[in-house]
Amino acid sequence: MSSHLLKTLPYEDGFVMPAEFEPQKAVWLLVGGAYSHWHNGGFKIRETQVNLAKAINAAGTHVNIGVPNDLYLETEYIFAGLDVSIYEMSLDNCWPRDSGAIYVKNRKTGEVRGVDFKFNAWGGDSNGAMISYANDDLAARKMLQATGHDRYKTTFVLEGGSIIADGEGTVITTESCLLNPNRNPNLTRQQIEEKLKIYLGFEKVIWLNEGIDLNAGETDGHVDDICSFIGPAEVVCCYTEDPTNEYYKVFQNCYRILCNSTDAKGRKLKVHKLTACKPFRITKEEAENVLVTQGVGQNPDGKWRKEGDFAVPSYANFLITNGSIIFPIYGLDTDEEAVKCLENIVAGRYVVRPVNALCGGSIHCFTQQVVK
């Protein structure tokens, strides 16, 4: 297999981004990354990723794993017995949804290729989340080499978690992220929409105002913490009637916008209310057990996580793969309600597979699907 750098544009070549609920060949995980971002040396995150791989395998999907050389043997050991392929690659962190390739497909020929977007660690020097991200900016091309797919390269900054696609020309995103000057400061809203069209095939952009992770060093409001397509013209959106929930107004506003939106084919969206996660904060123990790291964005050097910081969990941050929904739970009293809520919504169309996730990113963030 080989991966060739292409000089054309995906949309002009007939390639578009499929929906997540379409058939998949594999799902990527990235193991390792900056230990300073995780308490207790990152051991809990690796435990979560093993359980995540088990759930993905249970859905009948193969797992590809990228891992730096210092964790290769550990990864081979902890994922032993699972349906995985392990590839050595230098990494700064572990978020293939955002730093990894986005796979696109030609509907007529069935050929799959990949798009390698510019990654600047959620904002670069302007309140970004990491000071070092050169290795992660190379992750997409390494993933495409591993899977043998030809590559489109662009300097347009885009994270996969900032978009939700229906596979039929519609994308949902947030103004707080894609219009943030720390991503593509020289592009207008119209020019950004054009980039989304020529690289991923989107004909209609539905703009939400903002997401829930808006503090410095976060994602500036990724949409995959708000909603997800579960079928053509069908969306689930986090929702709460509790005004004491810190994200009450955000969820209410996003739900209202989606209910009044149509997709690229002119269909009115069917919007389901998904239980909103009970917000929780970083504990003292977690905060004390992370390493001091070089200052990110405009922030001084210090602990990456502090006691009392929002953990920003979301039940919308799930992965759909081959008829299953790999669903994040957090050890909260809203977990059971959320699982039942989604099971009622999908009504047997998907198998809901709960996996205990971590704060500061969740199931969707940990993964990136390879289109079949």
Active site residues: 365
Distance (Å, whole) CA 207 – CA 205: 6
The DSSP letter of residue 17 is P
Q: Which two tokens stand for residue 31?
A: 């193991």
d(CA 310, CA 100): 26
Chain centre to alpha carbon of residue 36? 21
Radius of gyration of the chain (CA): 19
Q: Which helix (H) or strand (E) holds 234?
A: strand 234-239
Which residues partner with 107 through β-bridges? Answer: none
The 8-class DSSP code of residue 21 comes to T
- Cβ contact 306:269 at 8 Å: no
Asked whether the CA dihedral 67, 69, 70, 71 is positive or negative, the reply is positive
DSSP H or E stretch at residue 368: strand 368-371
**CB of 297 within 8 A of CB of 216?**
yes
Q: Specify whether the CB–CB gap between 96 and 89 falls below 8 A.
A: no
Calpha distance 305→24 (Å, rounded): 35
Strand partners, 328: 355
Determine the 3-state secondary structure of 227 from DSSP: strand
Structure tokens that stand for 14 in this block? 């007939």
Residue 342: C-alpha distances to residues 52, 240, 276, 281, 349 (Å): 18, 14, 11, 24, 11
Two tokens at 162? 């900032």
Retrieve residue 55's tokens: 């759930």
The helix/strand/coil state of 282 is: coil
